[in-house]
Amino acid sequence: MVPKNLVPTDDSVCGGLPHTLSLVPGTRVMLLRNIMTTEGLVNGAQGTIETIVWSESKKMPSGVYIKFDNPNVAKVLQTSDVNSVLLKPFTTKYFGTEGTEIQRTQLPLLPSWAITIHKSQGMTVSHIIIDLGHKCTKPGQAYVALSRAKSLTGLALIDFTEKAIRTSKKVISEMERLKNLL
């Protein structure tokens, strides 16, 4: 056991693996690592925990079965009966305080009932609830969020404010420049 004063309190400097992780079957999770990019097991892939496989010591799971939202994720690894994928703990090394080298073994997962607009970039989803309130402050954020929905019937807005709709001055300037080329 590593003394607590040697372990950084910020998980982002601990190999990106959280210090503690509370999971139960049914928990929505997001993958925190690129494990097999060709199979879609990438940072940001989301799914639901189906089963937890416990090690003999019962201190830490030896793996979890995850049913990913995208049925094509890790298709070659899916168990045929439930279309879920076994994910095993990942070990990472990082430097603690006082220059100590520390190793953390953890499932590379994070509970994920919601995601940021930045994390949603590139996704297409059938149902989405978007908060376009006072925290939506950057030009283009509202566009990125709204354009994730496949259709208007799968889109719900909460806490909408007109100030969330912002356009970059650089984008407007470039559009004018291109228009003048015609």
Check: pTM over 0.85? Answer yes or no: no
Quick: pLDDT tens for 103-139: 888 899 989 888 888 888 888 888 889 999 888 889 9
Buried b (16+ CB within 10 A) or exposed e, 138-148: eeebbebbbeb
Give pLDDT, residue 98. 77
Cα dihedral 164/32/56/94 (nearest 10): -120
Report all structural domains of the chain as residue ranges with CATH numbers, in order of start.
4-111 (2.30.30), 117-181 (no CATH)
**Cα–Cα nearest to 11, from 70, 66, 124, 92:** 92
Give pLDDT, residue 82. 63
Quick: pLDDT tens for 22-59: 889 999 999 988 888 888 888 888 899 999 999 888 77
Tell me how many helices (H) and strands (E) the chain has.
3, 9
Mean pLDDT of the chain: 85
Contact 11, 18 (CB under 8 A): yes
Instruction: Indicate the residue type of 90.
Output: F
Q: Which residue has the higher pLDDT, 162 or 10?
A: 162
